[in-house]
Amino acid sequence: QVQLVDSGGASVQAGGSLRLSCAASSTVYTMDCMGWFRQVPGKERERVATFAREGSTSYADSMKGRFTISRDNAKNTLYLQMNSLEPEDTAMYYCAALEYSRSGTCFGIRISDFVYWGQGTQVTVSS
């Protein structure tokens, strides 16, 4: 059983930055795939960025160039650096992890495949 604790959410103005953290109870470098997701009330949860065990990353198109996902193996923590925040980024952000994937990476992984989830951290961006 892996526990994930999300933190770092806050209220900021448009153009500002935040860094979200996801502290894991298990060694993050053994997870085939970890990621950040976000959800707005009334909408489906969407993928923000993923980090595969071997170090490859991927981003949703609207986050490319603004968000950076990273992992600190020594601290067992996954991060999401968010810059140039926009009001449309307002959402609850969740960290998730999957120990084993068929490919050993995040390739082909659906949101429903992630087994472990953090409790979420709220990000609010005002214009």
pLDDT value at 27 more than 90: no
In the chain, the amino acid numbered 41 is: P
Nearest-angstrom CA–CA distance, 23 and 1: 14
pLDDT tens digits, 85-127: 999 999 999 999 999 988 889 998 999 999 999 999 999 999 9
Report the chain's terminal Cα–Cα distance, integer Å: 40
Nearest-angstrom CA–CA distance, 71 and 76: 8
